[in-house]
């Protein structure tokens, strides 16, 4: 991560950063940037409120991307999981990355399902592959892996190679199918 | 265990319909083209609820992206949307080059533009042709595939591979194009408008095709934005957003073209937007092929980011050292410990990669923002209230590629 105190966001984002800082619990949020990305690090307790406000007051109406990464053993990482929201304004084209975090043993963040319906499947995918629970999501089930699957394959402690998970699946009888 | 598929496909309660039944659509069904499954709760023929069930083609691409280096992963990336493979490669290396801060040479940028637009035509031909095929218009599909063959030949001439070329490299291309290739592109450009007109004549005023598409699967502008739709699907709903214009990358800033939009938001609008976009792509290629800059195709060799050419590896010690440095497992690139999101306008919509880097030549996390995945999540919203026969029209108009959907 580039050092946050050395970074000042470009002028186009100044109003948005000020708006985000006005949300309760976000007054000390970390603003950072890399190449053309401007990032806000919002604590998970305030993330839903901050994102809601960014949509309604800053015009960031398009949720371009929502996903997560596992920062287990990542250099200088403080939290285990990082969740990012890439937002964009269709009118002005301004783009902003909002990041929040979650930790073991019970990683959870608030769902933005009510703010953007586009978050539906993206949150399900993160839940499936990382095991991060999105509170308030009405239909949080696995999406890529089958329901019987017991682990979360994109976590860093899930190996690339192995014997597979076949033993977790029992053969269906004709009555069950 | 939390919610399961069985909970999701349960019929809606209290709807008061007497003759409800459930229909399994796919995973093996001609109209799904690949493997995806829909569970439809029907009242007679009317869809009350549609529940997509995906993951049949999940092959852990993003996990592989964490273990293959920036050049190796390109072979996986072009298997995502295999209908426009080079567009995926360009998107992947666009993100990697943003991370490494590499400036491409003008010639490389222009060749990538030509390939990106050829892929757009390639993808849209399949999308429109297959949409027509699903609705019973077989001939348009064959006309479209004739042209796709020519683009495959162009791929082969430049890269040696027809379908999964793995053409781009960090900071450059696998190899430069030659004059014969330029001739092939020119001859394709010459023949394409007539073939495009043939398809238009078969479909645009075809009463059956229009009746099955018009007013079906309407996506309003508000819903398109709310549900993260991008690309032709969003533009058919009146969202004027094209990353080639909004956030120009490669050489698009210098090129004159129009963004095609419609306000109807139905299946016909999506078809028409794709057909028009092909003509815009044709215009871009025609300009780019005549204005192809000369010069090197790989960025500055001294930066030690791009593989040197074969001659300098075999005939100079610097080239040999350089080659080793980019191939030995303990050398390669040293990206900054940071993360970046960069995206391109792929034929299907916004294709972006969020790369988290820990300083190693492999990504710590290589997140794909797949347009097919997000567009397929629109399906229940679009299909509800329509009949079973409209499922084929809606699926065709969204152009779902299952390999990209499941990765």
Chain B nearest C-alpha distance from A165 (Å): 14
CA–CA separation, A113 and B227 (whole Å)? 10
| Torsion sign over Cα B126, B131, B132, B135 | positive
B2 vs A: CB within 8 A: yes
CA–CA separation, B51 and B72 (whole Å)? 36
Crossing angle of helices B267-290 and B179-203, in 10° steps, is: 160
Q: What is the mean pLDDT of residues B129-144?
A: 89
Which of B63, B227, B247 is closest, CB to CB, to A153?
A: B63
Computed over every residue of chain B, the mean pLDDT equals 88
Chain B interface disruption, residue of A141, A158, A164, A169, most B CBs within 10 A: A141
Give B322-388 as a DSSP string.
HHHHTTSTT-S----S-EEEEEEEETTEEEEEEEE--SSSB-SEEEEE-HHHHHHTTHHHHHTTSBH
* Per-residue pLDDT, B116: 93
Asked if the model's pLDDT at residue B400 lies above 80, the reply is yes
Q: What is the mean pLDDT of residues B17-28?
A: 77
pLDDT band at B16 (very low <50, low <70, confident <90, very high): low
Domain spans, chain B: 5-53, 61-406
Asked if the model's pLDDT at residue B20 lies above 90, the reply is no
To 5 degrees, how large is the angle CA B309–CA B112–CA B165?
Answer: 70
* Pairing between β-strand A95-102 and β-strand A108-110 as defined by DSSP bridges: unpaired
CA–CA separation, B261 and A173 (whole Å)? 51
Asked if the model's pLDDT at residue B302 lies above 70, the reply is no
Hey, which residues 74-113 in chain A have their CB within 8 Å of chain B? Answer: 74-76, 82, 84, 86, 90, 93, 95, 97
A130 vs B: CB within 8 A: no
**Could you report the per-residue pLDDT of A58-92, keeping only the tens digit for each?**
888 999 999 999 998 888 888 999 999 999 999 88
A69 vs B: CB within 8 A: yes
Chain B nearest C-alpha distance from A66 (Å): 8
Q: Do A117 and B227 touch (CB under 8 A)?
A: yes
Q: What residues in A contact B341, CB-CB < 8 Å?
A: 37, 65, 84, 86, 97
Name which of B370, B287, B281, B355 is nearest B94 in CA terms.
B355
The answer to whether residues B22 and B41 touch, using CB atoms and an 8 Å cutoff, is yes
Asked if the model's pLDDT at residue B48 lies above 60, the reply is yes
For the domain spanning B61-406, the CATH number is: 1.10.645.10
| CA within 13 Å, CB half, B197 | 5
First-residue to last-residue Cα distance in chain A: 50
First-residue to last-residue Cα distance in chain B: 24
Name which of B277, B162, B264 is nearest B213 in CA terms.
B264
CA–CA separation, B285 and B222 (whole Å)? 33
Q: What residues in A contact B56, CB-CB < 8 Å?
A: none
A161 vs B: CB within 8 A: no
A125's tokens: 């995918």
pLDDT band at A2 (very low <50, low <70, confident <90, very high): very low
Chain A residue at shortest CA distance from B366: A69
Give A82-147 as a DSSP string.
EEEEEEE-TTT--EEEEEEEE-SSS-EEE--TTT-TTHHHHHHHHHHHH--EEET-TT---SSS-T
Q: Do A64 and B62 touch (CB under 8 A)?
A: no
The answer to whether residues A43 and A63 touch, using CB atoms and an 8 Å cutoff, is no
Could you tell me how many residues make up chain B? 407
Name which of A21, A15, A112 is nearest A62 in CA terms.
A112
Q: What residues in B contact A90, CB-CB < 8 Å?
A: 225, 239-241
Q: Do A141 and B7 touch (CB under 8 A)?
A: yes
Place of tokens 């204005």: B291
Query: Chain A to chain B, count of Cβ pairs less than 8 Å apart?
Result: 121
Q: Do B358 and A95 touch (CB under 8 A)?
A: no
**Could you report the per-residue pLDDT of B87-123, keeping only the tens digit for each?**
999 999 999 999 988 888 899 999 999 999 999 999 9
* Pairing between β-strand A81-88 and β-strand A95-102 as defined by DSSP bridges: antiparallel
CA dihedral (B299, B302, B308, B311) in degrees, to 10, reads: 120
**Could you report the per-residue pLDDT of B49-86, keeping only the tens digit for each?**
888 988 888 888 999 999 998 888 999 998 888 888 99
Q: What is the mean pLDDT of residues A17-26?
A: 78
B317 vs A: CB within 8 A: no
pLDDT band at B13 (very low <50, low <70, confident <90, very high): low
Q: What residues in A contact B352, CB-CB < 8 Å?
A: 64-65, 86
Q: Do B342 and A35 touch (CB under 8 A)?
A: yes
Asked if the model's pLDDT at residue A114 lies above 60, the reply is yes
Place of tokens 């939290």: A79
Chain A nearest C-alpha distance from B284 (Å): 23
pLDDT band at A112 (very low <50, low <70, confident <90, very high): very high
B335's tokens: 């990206």
B222 vs A: CB within 8 A: no
Cis ω before B8 (30° cut-off from 0): no
* Residue B178, number of CB atoms within 10 A of its CB: 11
Name which of B215, B227, B225, B218 is nearest B378 in CA terms.
B227
Chain B residue at shortest CA distance from A96: B341
Lowest mean pLDDT among A39-48, B187-196, B322-331: B322-331
Chain B residue at shortest CA distance from A70: B365
């Amino acid at each position: 991560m580039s050092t946050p105190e050395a970074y000042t966001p470009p002028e186009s984002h100044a109003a948005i950063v000020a708006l985000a800082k006005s949300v309760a619990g976000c007054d000390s949020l970390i603003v950072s940037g890399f190449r053309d990305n401007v990032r806000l690090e919002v604590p998970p307790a305030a993330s839903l409120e901050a994102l809601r406000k960014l949509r309604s007051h800053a015009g960031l109406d398009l949720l371009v991307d929502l996903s997560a990464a596992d920062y287990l053993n990542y250099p200088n990482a403080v939290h285990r999981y990082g969740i990012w929201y890439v937002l964009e304004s269709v009118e002005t084209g301004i783009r902003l990355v909002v990041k929040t975090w979650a930790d073991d043993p019970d990683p959870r963040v608030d769902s933005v399902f009510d703010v953007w319906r586009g978050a539906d499947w993206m949150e399900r995918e993160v839940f499936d592959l990382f095991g991060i629970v999105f509170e308030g999501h009405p239909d949080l089930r696995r999406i890529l892996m089958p329901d019987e699957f017991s682990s979360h394959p994109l976590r860093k402690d899930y190996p690339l190679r192995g014997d597979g998970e076949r033993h977790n699946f029992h053969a269906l009888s004709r009555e069950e199918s | 265990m939390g919610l399961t598929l069985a909970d999701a496909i349960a019929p809606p309660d209290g709807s008061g319909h007497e003759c409800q039944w459930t229909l399994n659509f796919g995973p093996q069904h001609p109209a799904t083209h690949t493997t995806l499954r829909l569970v439809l709760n029907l009242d007679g023929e009317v869809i009350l609820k549609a529940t997509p069930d995906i993951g049949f083609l999940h092959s852990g691409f993003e996990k592989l992206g964490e273990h293959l280096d920036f050049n190796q992963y390109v072979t996986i990336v072009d298997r995502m949307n295999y209908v426009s493979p080079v567009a995926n490669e360009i998107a992947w290396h666009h993100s990697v080059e943003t991370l490494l801060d590499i400036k491409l040479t003008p010639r490389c940028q222009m060749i990538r533009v030509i390939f990106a637009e050829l892929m757009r035509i390639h993808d849209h031909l399949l999308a429109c042709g297959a949409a027509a095929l699903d609705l019973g218009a077989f001939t348009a599909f064959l006309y479209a595939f004739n042209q796709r063959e020519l683009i495959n030949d162009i791929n082969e001439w430049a890269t040696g591979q027809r379908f999964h070329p793995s053409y781009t490299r960090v900071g450059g291309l696998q190899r430069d194009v030659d004059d014969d290739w330029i001739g092939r592109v020119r001859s394709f450009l010459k023949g394409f408008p007539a073939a495009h007109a043939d398809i238009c004549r078969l479909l645009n005023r075809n009463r059956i095709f229009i009746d099955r598409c018009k007013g079906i699967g309407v996506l309003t502008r508000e819903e398109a934005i709310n549900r993260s739709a991008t690309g032709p699907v969003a533009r058919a709903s009146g969202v004027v957003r094209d990353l080639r214009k909004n956030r120009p990358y490669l050489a698009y800033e210098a090129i004159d073209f129009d963004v095609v939009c419609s306000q109807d938001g139905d299946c016909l609008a999506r078809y028409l937007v794709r057909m028009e976009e092909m003509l815009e792509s044709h215009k871009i290629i025609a300009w780019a092929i005549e204005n192809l800059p000369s010069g090197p195709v790989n960025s500055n060799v001294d930066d030690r980011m791009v593989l040197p050419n074969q001659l300098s590896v075999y005939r100079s010690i610097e080239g040999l050292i350089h080659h080793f440095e980019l191939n030995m497992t303990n050398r390669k690139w040293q990206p900054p410990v940071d993360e970046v999101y960069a995206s391109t306008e792929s034929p299907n919509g916004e294709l972006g990669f969020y790369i988290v880097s820990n300083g190693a030549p492999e990504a710590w996390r290589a997140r794909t923002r797949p347009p097919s995945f997000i567009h397929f999540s629109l399906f229940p919203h679009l299909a509800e209230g329509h009949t079973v026969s409209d499922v084929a029209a809606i699926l065709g108009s969204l152009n779902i590629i299952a390999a990209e959907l499941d990765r």
